[in-house]
Amino acid sequence: MTMLWKLATFILLPVLAASVAGNNAPTVRPDGKYEICSEGIRGYFIPYGASLSNLFIHDIHGAERDIVLGFDNATTYSTSRLHPHLNGVPGRYANRIKNGTFEIDGTTYHTDLNDNGGLDTLHGGKNGWDYRNWTVVAHTRDSITFSLVDEDGEMGFPGQVVSYVTYTLTPFQWHIRMTAFATTKKTPIMLSSHTYWNLDGFQNPSTPLALDHTLHLPYAGFRPEVDNILIPTGYILSNKQYSVNDWWTAPKPLGANLSAAELRGNCGWNCTGYDNCYILNRNHAESLNWDAAPVATLASPWSGIQVDIYTEQEAVQIYTCNNMNGTLPLKSTQGFLSSPNNSTPRRPRTTPKYGCVVIEVEDWIDGINHPEWGRQGRQILGPGTGTGTGGQGRMCLRRGGVLGGEGRGMG
């Protein structure tokens, strides 16, 4: 699977070219992180979960911002109980599986029940791929590749799967390529990147929240209906224009509808916010030429940083960090060490509720349990049947304001 992320700030700063640290030799930092870089962008990655740990880009104020969540030290990921799938690769099946069960060729399989008190499987179970140590098989100045062998029966899934994830940085661009091969049996495979974004690096003096970030999903006219624990019912709902789930008409802030009665319960029982799968309603030509237009655009009006996401996948899960409660610490590269100004108290150096947003690019959630959707050919793979699907993305800089324009999500 390949994914393309295009991140942009709205003004070109001459200092950007000088912001990239390092030389022509790849480096492993004292904190256990692997650094890669290119013009205007640098990132740190770790073997645990094949995870992104830091992503740096300059903003319109001339400051370098670390715009993803994480821990300061690589060893913390495997020891902290606060680790919420931080920027890793969920697998072998991302998102939820109803009752932790599915059927392939008449055989029923039972996977680890690690979510909602044992009612479903989330991101492959308690020992999913983003909780495993991957092997670094290649590392250059601008690229790193991880590999993982997931054995038959692990977390209840049938068959061995071999996977590779390559992260590459080019000028102002971040590319992700994921491949996964079923080597012995048919098995569900659906990969994603579970990156937590705060495009201000928690350094906006007005707010530590991401609610003023604007989101645009120009093709997201439909979504699977879910129950109160976010399991699809099988019905497909339209995202009516100007409703709380309308991200396709035009960009709007993540918090635009926070007080709307319709948003209460939108992300599950007793939950206000978003944890929703949006189906990408592209025509055949647009799906084939998926790298021509982004499926998602996230932008901060304060930092001027913008993320454009391109993919050949067919759905996007949006999670507005509704479950964050101020216990996950910020990194030393984020937030304020003292008061952001003289008139306000010092902020807690932790991640608050709505302090971030996750954009998971994947296929239709729990499609393995809904044959009526016709997704099983993409989500259940066997020996010789190819690899999982994906997309591409890049990061660049441009002048101007928040990119907008109308979408045609229900067209």
Q: Indicate which residues carry an active-site annotation.
A: 194, 360
- Residue 70: name the closest of 51, 89, 92, 56 by CA: 51
Torsion of Cα atoms, 84 then 91 then 287 then 256, to 10°: -20
- Residue 204: name the closest of 18, 359, 11, 344 by CA: 344
Cα 331 to Cα 62, 76, 155, 296, distances in angstroms: 20, 12, 32, 26
Cα 411 to Cα 27, 170, 279, 284, 383, distances in angstroms: 48, 35, 13, 13, 38
- C-alpha 134/C-alpha 128 separation (Å) is 12
